Homo-oligomer: A and B are copies of this chain.
Amino acid sequence: MLLNCDIGESYGAWTMGLDDQVMPFIDQANIACGFHASDPLVMHNTVRLALQHKVALGAHPAYPDLQGFGRRPMVCSPEEIHAMVLYQVGALSQIAAAQGGRLSYVKPHGALYNDMMRNEAVLRAILGALSQTADKLALMAMTTANNQSLKALCAEYEIELLLEAFADRAYDEEGYIISRSHPGAVHNDADVILQQVMAIARGDAIQTVTGKPLYLEADTLCVHGDNPESVAAVRFIRQALTEKLA
């Protein structure tokens, strides 16, 4: 079970996230590419930090919306999405290559991620872009109770799929995470988070908000490095995974 984290979300004079503190504990860095956050110099520095810690490099492309941090749903055509994913992946890829690094996967960000999970045309636009990269970059996407159609589409484009689950989010019966606007959507209790992490890691069921068992197939867990509390949670999760799964 790997840990992935959104990284490199500073922009110009603005700093966001405790990247240097969380980097030692994660396996995969979802690196912002300048459309929802970051700029070329921030990307350069972020790649350097990730390479120092031998963390896998992933592109984290988004809709072009700095002001809205890529979280605002925006209606873009499949052609626009295809081109914007290639653009962002290419930019990060070149900055990484300049330091001897290679990207290994792509995780769409924010509203683009959500749209990809619900709209097949968006998913196909992204997969089409990935299938045109030299390394056939893998796609990181959300695991749910039923990953059949997601897997089928990735297979159609010959793209490896990395399924991610969330350590600190409550799930509904279909395996979708509960919207942050609902109470109880985010787990804050360390024991609850740990229990969910270990269940997913062992292949056991977690409990949905309605109290039903839910089995989630996952390759990686999404964690956060926004603040000292979330960094502490990542250290805690990393330690638990290392010790208890050993």
Q: Which of A44, A68, A74, A79 has the most CB of B within 10 A?
A: A68
| A75: chain B residues within 8 A (beta carbon) | 72-73, 111
Which interface class (under 10, 10 to 19, 20 to 34, 35 or more) fits A?
A: 35 or more
Least Cβ–Cβ distance between A132 and chain B, in angstroms: 4
| A211: chain B residues within 8 A (beta carbon) | none
| A76: chain B residues within 8 A (beta carbon) | 68, 72
**CA A74 to CA B110, docked complex, whole Å:** 13
Say yes or no: is A204 at the interface (Cβ < 8 Å to chain B): no
Which residues of A209-230 are within 8 A (CB) of B? Answer: none
Q: Which of A14, A15, A76 has the most CB of B within 10 A?
A: A14
Chain A residues packing against B (C-beta within 8 Å): 10-16, 34, 37, 39-41, 43-44, 64-69, 71-76, 79-80, 82-84, 86-95, 97-98, 111, 129, 132-134
